[in-house]
């Protein structure tokens, strides 16, 4: 089919390296190197990637590279393997949708969410020209999802954004879906680790200086995981004890804190690992992936005996909460966190223990009076 003619090609072959079975992935386009580097357990050597056979799910690999139209895959060398026939029956994405998502540099996660939700939308209106669907019909579709499929308010808003993206960004229509009612997100409070729990995690992580420094910066600077992995060596300003965050969420630059005790550790890290392009590189010129950092953080927490659900953003939540507990002005916390609206920062006030513990209950005086009698 002509649709595949100009696509990069991937060839899969079974192989053995150092006594261990792998799937060898050879590729003919350097643009595939970055997505392949994010595969779990991958080893990149020259123009080939090696996936551990025992943990590789080829059907999922196919989904990522063929269904997302990234490459044509030749799997003829792998005996007995045929891609799953339970093909996604939803209509293909309209022309320009995926390309526009990549053009505006949305994250891989956002791309997966938007494309999946928009194809659900197309499936619902399968017999219709998607360009002709009205706002009232879109509202009806969302009501169906809320009533019949019980989607969350967060998912509802994501689905609206995926639909809006097509009409406004791909087709260039003006405010095509702004009349769609948006749900208010549930007012859930962020999870937080105590300082003692964070210390236990860092004590475990100290065995590997790279992850000790990464976890320390996530907590001490309040960074998002994507911001951490996009840091470059020149973003560390040791003389002013600041970290420059380039193009964070909302495409804004900002400065945040560099912990003084961490400066020596970072200097030691730089001497040992000599980062070239990115501050934290798994290999020269290749940044760590979010998946690897997340897994190592969970493993460190588990070894430290922490049973809470652990994820990198939890360290950012803890940073904001602990600053407020120390009495830091909320406006300063807002700037350090890179929040657009101070109401986002105010969520952390509700979980800052110091604020609550310093408030005097009206019962205190009554009991004191009784005790004094």
The active-site residue out of 119, 159, 316, 317 is: 316
Tokens of 356: 């609550």
User: Within 10 Å of residue 220's Cβ, how many Cβ atoms?
Assistant: 20
CA distances from 303 to 13, 72, 315 (A): 37, 42, 17
The active-site residue out of 11, 90, 265, 313 is: 313
The active-site residue out of 244, 249, 298, 347 is: 249
Q: Is 100 a catalytic residue?
A: no
The active-site residue out of 65, 114, 166, 348 is: 348
Tokens of 197: 């729990």
CA quadruple 3, 7, 13, 17: dihedral, nearest 10: -160
Q: Is 182 a catalytic residue?
A: no
Q: Is 339 a catalytic residue?
A: yes
Residue 36 and residue 65: Cα distance in Å, rounded?
10
Q: Is 313 a catalytic residue?
A: yes
Query: End-to-end CA distance of the chain, in Å?
Result: 93
DSSP-assigned letter for residue 242: E
Contact by Cβ (8 Å): 168, 174 = yes
Question: Which among 107, 23, 60 has a CA at the least distance from the CA of 290?
Answer: 107
The active-site residue out of 224, 254, 296, 317 is: 224
Question: Which among 34, 33, 116, 110 has a CA at the least distance from the CA of 67?
Answer: 116
Task: List, by residue number, the catalytic residues.
Answer: 224, 249, 313, 316, 339, 348
């Amino acid at each position: 089919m002509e649709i595949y003619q100009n696509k990069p090609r991937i060839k899969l072959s079974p192989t053995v390296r150092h006594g261990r079975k792998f799937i060898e992935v050879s590729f003919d386009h350097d643009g595939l190197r970055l997505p392949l580097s994010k595969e779990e357990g991958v080893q990149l050597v020259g123009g080939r990637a090696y996936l551990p056979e025992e943990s590789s799910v080829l059907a999922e690999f196919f989904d990522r590279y063929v269904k997302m139209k990234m490459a044509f895959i030749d799997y003829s060398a792998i005996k007995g393997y045929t891609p799953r026939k339970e093909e996604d029956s939803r209509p293909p994405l309209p022309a320009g949708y995926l390309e526009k998502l990549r053009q505006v540099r949305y994250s891989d996660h956002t791309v997966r969410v938007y494309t999946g939700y928009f194809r659900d939308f197309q499936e619902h209106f399968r017999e219709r020209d998607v360009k002709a669907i009205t706002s009232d019909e879109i509202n009806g579709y969302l009501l169906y999802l809320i009533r019949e499929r019980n989607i969350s308010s967060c998912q509802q808003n994501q689905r609206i954004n995926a639909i809006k993206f097509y009409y406004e960004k791909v087709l260039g229509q003006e405010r095509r879906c702004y009349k769609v009612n948006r749900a208010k997100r549930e007012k859930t409070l962020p999870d937080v680790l105590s300082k003692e729990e964070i210390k236990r995690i860092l004590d475990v992580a100290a065995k590997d200086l790279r992850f000790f420094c990464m976890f320390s910066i996530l907590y001490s600077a309040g960074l998002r995981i994507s911001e951490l992995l996009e840091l470059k060596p020149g973003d560390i300003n040791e003389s002013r004890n600041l970290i420059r965050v380039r193009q964070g969420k909302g495409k804004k630059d900002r400065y945040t804190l560099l912990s003084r005790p961490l400066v020596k550790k970072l200097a030691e890290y730089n001497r040992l690992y000599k980062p070239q392009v990115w501050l934290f590189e798994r290999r020269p010129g290749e940044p760590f992936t979010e998946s690897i950092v997340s897994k190592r953080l969970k493993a460190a927490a588990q070894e430290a005996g922490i049973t809470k659900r652990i994820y990198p953003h939890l360290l950012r939540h803890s940073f904001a909460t602990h600053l407020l507990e120390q009495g830091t002005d909320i406006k300063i916390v807002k700037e350090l966190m890179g929040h657009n609206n101070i109401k986002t920062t105010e969520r952390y006030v509700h979980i800052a223990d110091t604020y609550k513990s310093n408030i005097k209950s009206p019962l205190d005086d009554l009991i004191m009076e009784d005790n004094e009698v």
